[in-house]
Structure 1
Amino acid sequence: MEHNQVYVLKKVDVSHCTNLTRLIMASNKLKLEPELFSALQSLRVLDVSVNKLQSAKLGSRPQLPRLVSLDLAFNNITTLRKEDFLFLSNSSFLQVLNMSSVSLKTLEPGCFKPISGLRTLIMDGNKMDTPVISKLCSELSGTAIDALFLRKMKLVTLRNTTFTGLQKTNLTFLDLSRNEMGKIEEGAFRELSRLQTLILTDNNIKHLNKGTFQGLKSLKRLHLTKALVKSHTTPTIDDFSFQPLSDLESLILQRTAAHEITEHTFTGLTSLQELDMSWSSYASLRNITNKTFVSLAGSPLRKLNLTWTAIAQINPQSFSVLRNLTTLLLDFNFIKQTLSGKEFEGLGQVEEIYMSNNHQTVNLSPESFVNVPNLRVLTLGRSLKAEAVNMDPSPFSPLPNLTVLDLSNNNIANIRENMLEGLVNLKVLKLQHNNLARLWKSGDLGGPALFLKGARRLMTLQMDSNGFDEIPAEALRGLSDLREISLANNLLNSLKNSIFDDLSSLRVLNLQKNLLTAVRPGVFKTPMSNLSLLLMDRNPFDCTCESILWFVTWLNDTHVTSVPGLSDQYLCNTPLAYFNRSIMDFDTLSCKDMTPFQALYILSSTAVIMLTVTALLVRFHGWRIEFYWNILINRTLGFSDARVEEGREFEYDAYVVHAEKDGSWVERRMVPLENDMCKFCLEDRDFVPGMSKLESIVDNMTKSRKILFVVTETLLKDPWCRRFKAHHALHQVIEASRDSVVLVFLQDVHDYKLSRSLFLRRGMLRSCCILDWPVHKERVPAFHQKLLMALGMTNRLQE
């Protein structure tokens, strides 16, 4: 609830907040009611800073049993009374008390006794004079204080009596930064024998001597960043000034200045592991010799930071006394020399050398790194001459353990194929911002330099801004462990298929700001299969089906790869219809290949039509198919009488089947046609007496060359005809393979009824064997002639 206008906070307002753990009421105008916080049994953090409170007393009886941090900063508290913290007497968890900028002037004896378990006290920004600070330290002597912050208190002079009261405490951390401190009296820290961290950052100390740090026998970290600053005079560090600090492990001298580093400046630092002198001004560091760091001969130093210390020359054996050194930082200096290898003599344990952003140029030789065989990280970005690495043998060949090599920003134009030979453990190679345009030119004399073949375990490759306009097919072969490749800000346009095929482990691909117009699967399918980050923006993409379809489809389908700026940085350059529009606006449907769809359409349509036609055929002409099928089967299996000669004798030319009602028509119209050439078999006239009707029908049909049906509605209802005569006639037609049926229609009978009653259809017979009785009398002779022709035709089915 900070930065509001809360004036009165009553007990009833928070009485139900029993589970509340943090209450922030800073920057209000509080007037606290007595025992306001008694209900907050779970509260761990209470901030009532900047409320113009006149007293630290927030209650009269014990409360806030679980409080860990209390912030009273920026209030108008001038006096700490004995009873002010009684309300916290049961708060055994209290760790931090912030009373920054409270203008404290008076401390009553025993004011901190109720909170004797306090471990961190912050008194920053208090305008307390030295006697009040001494009183503060005395009052803290009975507490568990561990860390004390006294920043920005304008403690110009640190007297040898200031911290006397802390002698019986376990103080391990003291921050005196930003105090404009100019003088530290000898013995000022002698009472702080348990102190482990001392911060004197941003002060104005003019002189360090042997007595400055006297008594700090347990100190492990000393921060002097901007504590020794050159103004009118240059600060002085006497010999043996750090000798009392036998347990010191980290000495930070960033942005400091001193006259000289002598042979005894760091003497006595027998536990020192880190020395940071970066961004500092020491005249003796401009030309480093074998005596510069001789005072560290007895130190197990592991990290030395000399960044931006104006080094111009490193002489042979300059670091030879630092036998345990593992990290050496020499960035942002003015080194101008050829490294012969003797400069790093004695550094057999060093693993990291940083020498980037040098304001002069360094040249290399084949022996430059022979004395650092365990080197793992080497940065030479913006430091080398252009021809520094173009030599045989390679200056990096003595470094089999090298994992990181930075050669960026060096204007390197030529690299030999053996430059990385032997670097079997190299994982990171930085070559960005050089001039390697011709390195991979296929038309160059001698062909492209395939220098990466010696670094098969490479995981990160950065080659931005080199002017590349092509990549040889073999340039990236074998880099199956590569996880990140960056080729941004080049001139790459048309990439050959399969150049990235070995990059199956790639996670980051950066091709920003090139001239790529197409993203084809033949080039990018393998590297993009497992990507987590793709950077290909600001290329002039050709938004056509051939160039961009696969890429847009991949972008729509991918859910794993992050593609920053996809909506506004991936823009089409051509054609005009898509100019300056996002590639995601490209209509992929316009690229669908219609050939397979046309084939599928034709196939499916044909199948549907054939299915429909087959269904219709079966529905309306199934009988015909079945009829001819039966004929085929019978002829194939030999059930026909084809072997019987057609010219055999029949007693009758036609067996006449008619309904009893139609007998008179037969007598009138059929019998008169009989003569020597034509004879009919009539049931009533020609049946043999004494023979059963069934036997007579079968016998007479066999003796007849044709079976003639006189078709009327009455015939279709005749039981004898439907049950026996029609069946036997159908046997004649199908099983005997004889075209022996003639139909004479006296009435117009539907083919469906004909089929249902007689099992015959018009389509089963020849058209000449189907006759209709004429309506007009003048056509009767023609009917007779047709009938005689039908009766005279052969019974053999025509092929």
Structure 2
Amino acid sequence: EPHTHRRVMARSLRPLHLLLVLLLCVLGCSHAGPGKAVCRVVRLTADCSHLSLEEVPADLPANITALDVSHNRLRKLPPVVLGRYPQLQLLQAGYNSIQALEADLCRMLPLLRKLRVQHNVIHLLKEANLVHCSGLTELNLASNRLKLLGDPFLPLKSLVSLDVSANGLSSARLGTQPQMGGLRELSLSGNKMSTLQKDDFSCLCNSSVQVLRLGSLPLKNLEPGCLKPLEGLRELVLDGTKLGPNLTDQLCQELKGSAIDRLSLRDVHLTSVLHTTFMGLADTNITAVDLSRNEMSSMANGSLRWLRTLKLLSMEENNFRQLTREMFVGLDSLRSLVLRNALAKSRSWYAVIEDYAFSPLRCLESLFLDRTTFRGLTAQTFSGLVSLQYLNLSWSKFDLKIVTNESFASLSNSPLRTLNLTETGITRLADGAFASLGNLSTLLLGYNFISQNLSGSEFRGLSRIQKIHLSFNNQKIRLTSWSFQHVPTLRTLMLRRALTGTLDLKPSPFQPLQELSVLDLSNNNIANINSDLLSGLHNLRVLYLQHNNLARIWKSANPGGPLLFLRGLENLTVLELDYNGFDEIPAAGLQGLRKLQELSLGGNMLDFLREGIFSDMVSLRSLNLQKNLITSVQKSVFQPALANLSVLHMERNPFDCTCDSILWFAEWLNGTDASVPQRDSYVCNTPSAYFNKTISQFEPLSCRDTTPFQALYVFTSTTVLIVMATALVFHFQGWRIQFYWSVLVSRTLGFREVDRGEERFQYDAYVIHAQKDRRWVERHLLSLEDKQLRFCLEDRDFVPGRTRLECIVDMMRQSRKIVFVVTETLLNDPWCTQYKAHHAIQQVIEESRDSVVLVFLEDVPDHRLVRALLLRRGMLRSRCLLNWPPQRERRPAFQQSLWVALGSSNRIQ
């Protein structure tokens, strides 16, 4: 049992052992990593961040002026190493584990101006640490654990910005004597200060601090005069410091008579504003106050009247239930009011904006009411805003389903230039809906639910309009030929994912828009247009037509031919035609676009591009042809487009990586200065040798010096083809050629070759055959006797009364040729093989005659001939070796060959 227990324990500890080994490997790799890490040096700036460094690199260029070693594992900043870079002006060493600033650091870096060591573990800081840092202008010590000893910042006479936030400091006192005379910005946020004492900033009495950040402090008390030393203070930030109404009132009293210009009180628990809350600011020239995120639900009437110089007031993300006219009384100089998400929300009731609520704001130019829910608009909601130029109601809910001519009648006396009604639930625009807004230049109606035929009367009265945004209206808007007849000044028209129906209208809906420069018709599934859709838009600069269904209009098979709908757009600079299903571009489809700088045809089905389609694009800077079916990038097609290109996107195409298809493009990619993102996505599809490899792996040298071999290739290919053709002809029709050649020779020279002494022969041939082959002889040989040939046959020509042996010998001597009809039966006949054949061969030898002719009715091996007839095929001339053809059409040729063989000379050559 103990042994069993040990085995179980060992098995259970194996995963732990593996984990430990893996951890050691990781630590080892991490430790070894910094030695292999490489810093990036660009324009005298060395970036060594995020490299897990444990020491400052000592091998960087000596003339660098900026060094970033943040986000590493440094424990110190050794002056000896950093002294190798004497021209250093910026040192970033944040997010490390640095424990102290060594005294010689600034002495070794006499030109250092900015030192950032935030998020470290620096603890004790005394004057000796910074004694040589008089030239510093910025010091960031945020998020350390500082403990200040004496006057550590006394030597920093040139310091402009100091950040000691989030250090656990319990007091704002940074020294005991005046110092940092040039300080402009001080951050003390995120510390543990509960009280601002009267003399906390006394050491800065000679400085000109303009920005003071005291955010996220646990302040409980402000001693009178605590901010008095900061006479030049212009911006005070207390975001996240829980002041409450009382401490806010006290703070404003401390700022009384100061030079304060901007005050940020975001998230300070200022749930309500009393009459006296901002009284202390009455004697200031404050211009901006931020009261956002305070869950403010009420504001006493007239409580803002003390802020008469205020120009910007932000109260976003609060909980006001009602906006009254008295709320904004006294804000005579206010230019911008931000009430984004400032009204309370409830399922049972809506916040109310009273009539004339904004009437005191006669200088207001910008009003932000976006992401707000309120009861609705009335005829007097915005009355009194006689200077309003920008109104933002986007993403708000206020029951505006149908926009009528009364919806914004309260703005009839306002010089409104921009109206943002994005995502406000609009379903319909009534006739003359914006007639009271004659100065409007920008109308944003995107992300609504408008569903209607635009007759044109909806925009009546917009005599100065320049931009209309109707995008993302669920594709329920139908255009007519008169939709924009009342807005001839329009320059930008956005209709992305907004239209339904056809654009094959005459006249075109866009014909009145002679000043149009930007047109967005993308994502509308447009399929039917005509060639005059964009006619007359000579000022058009940007055209978006991506994500439609325009493939048919550029097809050669389109009835009437391809539609050249881009003709006349000579000033076009941006054209996007992505995802339209294009599989071809007509030769004149992109002609005349000499000023085009950006062309996008991605996501289509283009596989072949005609020469000359890019010939007019002399200004092209960006070309997008990604996700098509392009296999070949020919110089004759693409050179005009790529000549001046800055950005190219052609990834994700099935490239054919052969010399003819891709050589020029591969060389262009290797030598271009243009930006070509995602080069790893330029992948070869064919041939198999380069399948799934990038174009950068294509070897151009394989295409070099191929010209001398082209002629050889053509010659050898032609020769092989001729030889093959000749072989095939001779194989299937050789007998016919031989037949005609034999006939020609015979007719020209005669059938017989004249030999002296041949007049003694009575027969042309003595025929030796088996008895079984007699019928063949009578049928196919005797028929030749009609053509002046005479054969000697045993059964017919032997003399009666004489012995058979005597007749055989005598008849052979009287015959010019001896013909063997060779079959297996003949070879097995002992009479033929043992006597006739022997006697025939003996006679040939004795008389030195070449007179044997073999006619093969069957395929007989050569060794059988030797054994039976004592003959080999090689002993006879080829004309004397005949094969009986089974095909009927070849038999005349056989007879001609037999005639030639029987007529040939018997003389041995």
Deviation track 1:32-68 (CA, whole Å, cap 9, x = no partner) reads 1122211100111111111221111111211000001
Task: Kindly provide the amino acid, as one letter, of the partner of residue 214 in structure 1.
Answer: V
Deviation track 1:116-145 (CA, whole Å, cap 9, x = no partner) reads 110000111112231211010001012100
Contact 1:386 1:411 (8 Å CA) reproduced? no
Matching of residue 436 in structure 1 with residue 553 in structure 2: no
**What is the alpha-carbon distance in structure 2 between the residues aligned to residue 449 and residue 462 of structure 1?**
17
What does residue 677 of structure 2 align with?
564
**What is the alpha-carbon distance in structure 1 between the residues aligned to residue 251 and residue 671 of structure 2?**
68
Higher RCO (CA 8 Å, separation ≥ 6 residues): 1
Structure 1 unaligned segments of length 5 or more: list them.
Answer: 600-799
Matched position secondary structure for 2:543? strand
What does residue 4 of structure 2 align with?
none
Contact 1:436 1:468 (8 Å CA) reproduced? yes
**What is the alpha-carbon distance in structure 2 between the residues aligned to residue 552 and residue 20 of structure 1?**
52
Q: Select the residue among 579, 582, 585 that pairs with 2:694.
A: 582
- Cα deviation for residue 24 of structure 1 reads 1.2
What does residue 235 of structure 2 align with?
120
Matching of residue 505 in structure 1 with residue 649 in structure 2: no
Contact 2:475 2:497 (8 Å CA) reproduced? no
What does residue 28 of structure 1 align with?
144
Contact 1:327 1:351 (8 Å CA) reproduced? yes
**What is the alpha-carbon distance in structure 2 between the residues aligned to residue 445 and residue 126 of structure 1?**
73
Map 1:132-531; keep pairs closer than 5 Å: 132-232=247-347, 233-283=349-399, 285-387=400-502, 389-531=503-645
Matching of residue 535 in structure 1 with residue 645 in structure 2: no
**What is the alpha-carbon distance in structure 1 between the residues aligned to residue 651 and residue 243 of structure 2?**
59
Contact 1:49 1:71 (8 Å CA) reproduced? yes
- Cα deviation for residue 25 of structure 1 reads 1.3
Contact 1:386 1:413 (8 Å CA) reproduced? no
**What is the alpha-carbon distance in structure 2 between the residues aligned to residue 598 and residue 307 of structure 1?**
67
Number of residue-to-residue matches in the alignment? 594
**What is the alpha-carbon distance in structure 2 between the residues aligned to residue 303 and residue 29 of structure 1?**
50
Deviation track 1:229-281 (CA, whole Å, cap 9, x = no partner) reads 42243110000000000000000111001111001000000100000000000
**What is the alpha-carbon distance in structure 2 between the residues aligned to residue 405 and residue 549 of structure 1?**
39
**What is the alpha-carbon distance in structure 1 between the residues aligned to residue 550 and residue 240 of structure 2?**
57
What does residue 553 of structure 1 align with?
667
Contact 1:356 1:382 (8 Å CA) reproduced? yes
Matching of residue 544 in structure 1 with residue 626 in structure 2: no
Deviation track 1:563-589 (CA, whole Å, cap 9, x = no partner) reads 1111x1000000000000001111111
Task: Kindly provide the amino acid, as one letter, of the partner of residue 517 in structure 1.
Answer: T
What does residue 178 of structure 2 align with?
62
Identity %: 53
- Cα deviation for residue 347 of structure 1 reads 0.3
- Which stretch of structure 1 is more off in the superposition, 376-385 or 99-108? 99-108
**What is the alpha-carbon distance in structure 2 between the residues aligned to residue 468 and residue 378 of structure 1?**
25
- Cα deviation for residue 597 of structure 1 reads 10
Contact 2:475 2:524 (8 Å CA) reproduced? no
Matching of residue 595 in structure 1 with residue 707 in structure 2: yes
What does residue 886 of structure 2 align with?
none
**What is the alpha-carbon distance in structure 1 between the residues aligned to residue 709 and residue 334 of structure 2?**
81
**What is the alpha-carbon distance in structure 1 between the residues aligned to residue 173 and residue 704 of structure 2?**
80
Deviation track 1:491-537 (CA, whole Å, cap 9, x = no partner) reads 00011111111111111110000000000011101011000011000
Contact 1:113 1:142 (8 Å CA) reproduced? no
Matched position secondary structure for 2:477? coil
Matched position secondary structure for 1:275? strand
Matched position secondary structure for 1:526? helix
- Cα deviation for residue 7 of structure 1 reads 2.0
**What is the alpha-carbon distance in structure 1 between the residues aligned to residue 344 and residue 554 of structure 2?**
51
Pick closer, same or farther for the CA change 1:111–1:79 going to 2, 3 Å. same
**What is the alpha-carbon distance in structure 1 between the residues aligned to residue 462 and residue 571 of structure 2?**
26
Task: Kindly provide the amino acid, as one letter, of the partner of residue 61 in structure 1.
Answer: Q
What does residue 603 of structure 1 align with?
none
Map 1:741-756; keep pairs closer than 5 Å: none
Deviation track 1:358-382 (CA, whole Å, cap 9, x = no partner) reads 1251001111101111100001010
Matched position secondary structure for 1:525? helix
**What is the alpha-carbon distance in structure 2 between the residues aligned to residue 71 and residue 263 of structure 1?**
48
Contact 2:515 2:539 (8 Å CA) reproduced? yes
- Cα deviation for residue 595 of structure 1 reads 3.1
Matched position secondary structure for 1:304? strand
Contact 1:112 1:143 (8 Å CA) reproduced? no
- TM-score for the superposition, normalised by structure 2: 0.65
Matched position secondary structure for 2:575? strand
Matched position secondary structure for 2:628? coil
**What is the alpha-carbon distance in structure 2 between the residues aligned to residue 598 and residue 547 of structure 1?**
17
What does residue 723 of structure 1 align with?
none
**What is the alpha-carbon distance in structure 1 between the residues aligned to residue 707 and residue 284 of structure 2?**
89
What does residue 85 of structure 1 align with?
201
**What is the alpha-carbon distance in structure 2 between the residues aligned to residue 305 and residue 582 of structure 1?**
48
Matched position secondary structure for 1:338? strand
Contact 1:478 1:502 (8 Å CA) reproduced? yes
**What is the alpha-carbon distance in structure 2 between the residues aligned to residue 266 and residue 173 of structure 1?**
23
- Which stretch of structure 1 is more off in the superposition, 456-465 or 391-400? 456-465
Task: Kindly provide the amino acid, as one letter, of the partner of residue 513 in structure 2.
Answer: L
Contact 1:253 1:278 (8 Å CA) reproduced? yes
What does residue 778 of structure 1 align with?
none
Contact 2:316 2:339 (8 Å CA) reproduced? yes
Q: Select the residue among 15, 21, 44 that pairs with 2:131.
A: 15
| Structure with the greater alpha carbon radius of gyration | 1
**What is the alpha-carbon distance in structure 2 between the residues aligned to residue 178 and residue 453 of structure 1?**
55
Contact 1:418 1:454 (8 Å CA) reproduced? no
Matched position secondary structure for 1:211? helix
- Cα deviation for residue 26 of structure 1 reads 1.4
Structure 2 unaligned segments of length 5 or more: list them.
Answer: 1-116, 712-909
**What is the alpha-carbon distance in structure 1 between the residues aligned to residue 338 and residue 475 of structure 2?**
31
- Cα deviation for residue 5 of structure 1 reads 2.2
Pick closer, same or farther for the CA change 1:461–1:229 going to 2, 3 Å. farther
Matched position secondary structure for 2:519? strand
Matching of residue 51 in structure 1 with residue 163 in structure 2: no
- Cα deviation for residue 101 of structure 1 reads 1.5
Contact 2:578 2:602 (8 Å CA) reproduced? yes
- Cα deviation for residue 159 of structure 1 reads 1.6
Matching of residue 130 in structure 1 with residue 242 in structure 2: no
**What is the alpha-carbon distance in structure 2 between the residues aligned to residue 515 and residue 84 of structure 1?**
72
Contact 2:452 2:476 (8 Å CA) reproduced? yes
Task: Kindly provide the amino acid, as one letter, of the partner of residue 595 in structure 1.
Answer: T
Matched position secondary structure for 1:138? helix
Task: Kindly provide the amino acid, as one letter, of the partner of residue 204 in structure 1.
Answer: N
